[in-house]
Structure 1
């Protein structure tokens, strides 16, 4: 066992490196997405209300309940969730592992050996491209890890690090 930075004891193969958080622009991107999604929901609720009043001659009392629920979910997803995701989602990469930690009530800690990575997928829609962000998915045989809203340069560096390690490991296997 060796001594860590803060004076605590750590395992020899424990991942090291600095934790990386999502950029502040990811909050803006998520809020824009939520705004578009909930605007569509509001249009559907409004259309259903007009149809009920005009053509079906029904009292739309239940639409007030639906609108209240819509407003509550909208405020939660627009105001609080993006800030919480940016604050509590973190990851780090060293020479052997990709470690992702996220969650508020249920903390998830996912450690993926880089030798197990099969596919690295990056994507960015119009909202993300405008803010110079992209999503990254790291696929293994047992599942995938999502890294949402990374800066383009940060995602490129991360992708190169993972690819470089996977290529080195592949070359070592071929030489055996």
Structure 2
């Protein structure tokens, strides 16, 4: 079996993922509060609000505190001359090899949360799929994008 890739993503990825998850989970909490208010106004049972609060609490723990750390530990990538090797997972490890000859274009993208931590993601597009290497330092993402682009162009010229 092949060795896992050696390159990791930026440690600030955990913070960025936690903030993104907190925003999403915040919507669950707003809905829970709304359900509690509706239960109070219309004199419904408070069990609905209690169950919603328990679900929101579990979602907060999982998506804000647990999953970002697990996701960071498993994300690895490596770029070879002939292929890009990506490994990621939370429970089931997914290992992907993207042949350079199949790469059509490479992009970097950066949302507001990633920008706060000077991070960017590299998106690798083939005819059939799109692969992403998330949360790299901006400089590393630009260098990786340029390197993959150069290697993919060289492979095209050789064919």
TM-score calculated relative to the size of structure 1? 0.82
Q: SS where residue 43 of structure 2 aligns?
A: coil
| Equivalent position of 2:143 in the other structure | 157
Alpha-carbon shift at residue 60 of structure 1 (Å): 2.4
Alpha-carbon shift at residue 119 of structure 1 (Å): 2.3
Within 5 A, what are the aligned runs for 1:71-110?
A: 71-110=57-96
Q: Which runs of 5+ in 1 are unaligned?
A: 1-9
| Equivalent position of 1:142 in the other structure | 128
| Equivalent position of 2:33 in the other structure | 46
Cα distance in 2 between the residues matched to 1:79 and 1:159: 30
| Equivalent position of 1:26 in the other structure | 13
Choose which of 21, 38, 53 in structure 2 pairs with 1:67. Answer: 53
Q: SS where residue 17 of structure 2 aligns?
A: helix
Cα distance in 1 between the residues matched to 2:54 and 2:136: 33
Alpha-carbon shift at residue 142 of structure 1 (Å): 2.4
| Ranges of 4+ aligned residues in structure 1 off by more than 4 Å | none
Alpha-carbon shift at residue 27 of structure 1 (Å): 0.4
Within 5 A, what are the aligned runs for 1:10-25?
A: 19-25=6-12
Alpha-carbon shift at residue 140 of structure 1 (Å): 1.0
Aligned residues: 159
TM-score calculated relative to the size of structure 2? 0.91
RMSD: 2.0
Choose which of 68, 76, 97 in structure 2 pairs with 1:111. Answer: 97
- For the 8 Å contact 1:138–1:144, the answer to whether it is kept is yes
Do the aligned partners of residues 18 and 109 (structure 1) sit closer, same or farther apart at CA in structure 2, a change above 3 Å counting? closer
Q: With CA pairs under 8 Å and 6+ residues apart, which has the higher RCO, 1 or 2?
A: 2
Alpha-carbon shift at residue 48 of structure 1 (Å): 2.3
- For the 8 Å contact 2:35–2:48, the answer to whether it is kept is no
Q: SS where residue 121 of structure 2 aligns?
A: strand
